[in-house]
């Protein structure tokens, strides 16, 4: 039975609540967000001090973590800088869902106090490092709507496994980021928070389903975030926004207790969590840190794999797919692919063309698995609030 919900009113209230959590001093003038591309807005809008611009613009996660550990930067001033820049990014790209800046600053101050009180004590691997999260990760006190009206105003009471692990490693969690309705499309638009815009060109998509992460990291409102991926949900926003993203193998990074359209998962389909970042080494840093932390102690589905370092053979070999048998890339994409291959060959890397003969069959099987229940779970949740306007 369809439950009648004023989805427009629910979405409007959620957006108003989100806006109210941005301090007045951090809000932009109407003119500030009109200068394109908006990637330059944080440096030109006058809301960040020179030091805050440096903190958020100059370093990747690896170098920033080093400076926090050596007390060149405090956790509090670092967190404040990224909270302010994330607020700016939100106002020009609509990339955030849930904001918990005050809680983040309180935690950062506590970490600084711990470090000052016991300077001889070894610091945790992610001590004081601000990290953003995709909306599907549960944080106590805030919603995990995953773009669905029916999940609005139902704050979580506990952490998902990965956020809990990140906190235990010393991280500072400060915001969650936007996704598509049901998290099953490549454009992050929904009836709760609206569409996330691409910071380089706001007339283009930021991708999905981790599109909020893609836009936020591109704006450097976060330099290390966590997305999820089953069919490109980290990789698509990464290429759309010009950032780095990595989809790990299944069952390496804790996945458990996330909000989802199908709570029990999809048989045969293995979604994963992974990093979005401003550098490749930041992605490696994230993977190494999580794998060294014995992630299976947090999520029993994780494999007992420890970080073994990069095993690069003397002669690096890379496979290249020029055509998947279903779709021919557009000329600009083919040109970039050809130029990239030429540069790899020049660097001494062996290129192996790869044919993918069974893509149509694989795609057909995958879509059957996606809808193995006849999509009843997805339709039920949409029917409870979003039926009047589908965004998928």
> Which amino acids are annotated catalytic?
134, 209, 233
Residues 167, 102: Cα–Cα separation, whole Å: 16
Are 181 and 189 in contact by the 8 Å Cβ rule? The answer is yes
Task: Show the tokens assigned to 70.
Answer: 């050596």
Residue 32 Cα to chain centre, angstroms: 25
Write out the H or E segment, with its range, that includes residue 63. helix 61-69
Report strand pairing: 272-277 vs 244-245: antiparallel
Are 28 and 91 in contact by the 8 Å Cβ rule? The answer is yes
Are 195 and 188 in contact by the 8 Å Cβ rule? The answer is yes
Task: Show the tokens assigned to 59.
Answer: 């370093």
Residues 363, 319: Cα–Cα separation, whole Å: 21
For residue 254, the cross-strand partners are: none
Are 178 and 193 in contact by the 8 Å Cβ rule? The answer is yes
Sign of CA dihedral 333, 204, 370, 296: positive
Q: Buried b / exposed e across 238-256, counting CB within 10 Å, b at 16+?
A: bebbebbbbbbeebbbbbe
Residues 125, 69: Cα–Cα separation, whole Å: 9
């Amino acid at each position: 039975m369809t439950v009648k919900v004023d989805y427009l009113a629910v979405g409007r209230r959620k957006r108003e609540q989100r806006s109210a959590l941005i301090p007045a001093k951090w809000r932009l003038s109407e003119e500030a967000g009109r200068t394109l591309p908006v990637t330059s807005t944080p440096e030109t809008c006058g809301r960040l001090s020179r030091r805050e611009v440096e903190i958020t613009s100059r370093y990747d996660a690896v170098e920033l973590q080093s400076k926090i550990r050596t007390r060149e930067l405090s956790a509090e001033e670092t967190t404040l800088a990224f909270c302010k820049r994330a607020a700016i990014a939100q106002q020009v790209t609509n990339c955030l869902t849930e904001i918990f800046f005050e809680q983040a600053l309180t935690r950062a101050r506590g970490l600084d106090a711990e470090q000052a009180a016991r300077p001889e004590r070894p610091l945790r691997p992610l001590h004081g490092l601000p990290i953003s999260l995709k909306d599907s990760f549960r944080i106590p006190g805030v919603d995990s709507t995953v773009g669905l009206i029916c999940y609005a105003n139902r704050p979580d009471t506990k952490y998902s496994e990965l956020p809990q692990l990140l906190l235990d490693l010393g991280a500072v969690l400060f915001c969650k980021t936007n996704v598509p309705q049901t998290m099953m499309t490549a454009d992050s638009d929904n009836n709760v928070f609206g569409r996330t815009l691409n910071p380089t060109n706001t007339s283009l998509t930021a991708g999905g389903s981790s599109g909020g992460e893609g836009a936020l990291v591109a704006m450097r409102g976060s330099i290390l975030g966590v997305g999820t991926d089953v069919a490109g949900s980290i990789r698509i926003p990464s290429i759309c926004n010009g950032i780095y993203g990595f989809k790990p193998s299944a069952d390496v990074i804790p996945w458990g207790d996330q909000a989802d359209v199908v709570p029990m998962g999809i048989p045969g389909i293995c979604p994963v969590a992974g990093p979005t970042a401003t550098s490749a080494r930041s992605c490696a840093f994230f993977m190494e840190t999580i794998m060294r932390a014995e992630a299976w102690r947090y999520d029993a589905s994780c494999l007992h794999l420890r970080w073994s370092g990069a095993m690069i053979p003397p002669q690096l070999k890379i496979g290249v797919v020029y055509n998947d048998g279903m779709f021919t890339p557009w000329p600009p994409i083919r040109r970039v692919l050809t130029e990239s291959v030429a540069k790899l060959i020049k660097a001494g890397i062996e290129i192996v063309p790869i044919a993918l003969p069974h893509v149509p069959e694989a795609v057909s099987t995958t879509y059957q698995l996606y809808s193995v229940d006849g999509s009843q779970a997805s339709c039920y949740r949409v029917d409870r609030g979003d039926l009047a306007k589908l965004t998928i």
